[in-house]
Amino acid sequence: MNWGYKIVLVYLVFISGMLFMAFKSSEQDIELVTEDYYAKELVYQQKIDEIKRTASLSKPIEVNFNQQILTITFPDDFAAKKIKGSVTLYCPSNKKMDIQRSFDSNEKKVVVMIAATKRGLHYIKLSWSAEGISYYFEKKIII
């Protein structure tokens, strides 16, 4: 086999490899993290301000997950204040496993029931307000 045939063979192997990779990548299921990511990006400064307010609390937020019960304990800054918010368990690998619950409480401790069938890595995204001031907290957990 002379060198001309070897060059053609290399080109054919390269082209067939590229076609194979293009075909395999077209079969992948690609999901956006959020549907309206551009609109959420525009209001992200509000989220940064909420995170700073949360960091300035006297104690950090305590989040515990045991069996099917998610317990959120707020610091003493929220004693005798009406707390209203939502908790989202965001699963980065599958949006069908995302869980969102709302809560409304006058106590520092909030208990949320979560189905135990949603196992895996989740991010707890806790957003709440008290006396007109909004806060945001995020933590990684494995259920």
Task: Identify the burial level of 22 via C-beta atoms within 10 angstroms of its C-beta, where 0-12 means exposed, 13-18 middle and 19 or more buried.
Answer: exposed
In this predicted structure, the answer to whether residue 43 has a pLDDT above a threshold of 70 is yes
What pTM was computed for the model? 0.70
Confidence (pLDDT) at 53? 92
Average pLDDT, the chain: 86
Q: Which residues pair with 127 in a beta bridge?
A: 86, 136
pLDDT digits 0-9 by tens, 67-98: 788 888 998 888 888 999 999 988 888 778 88
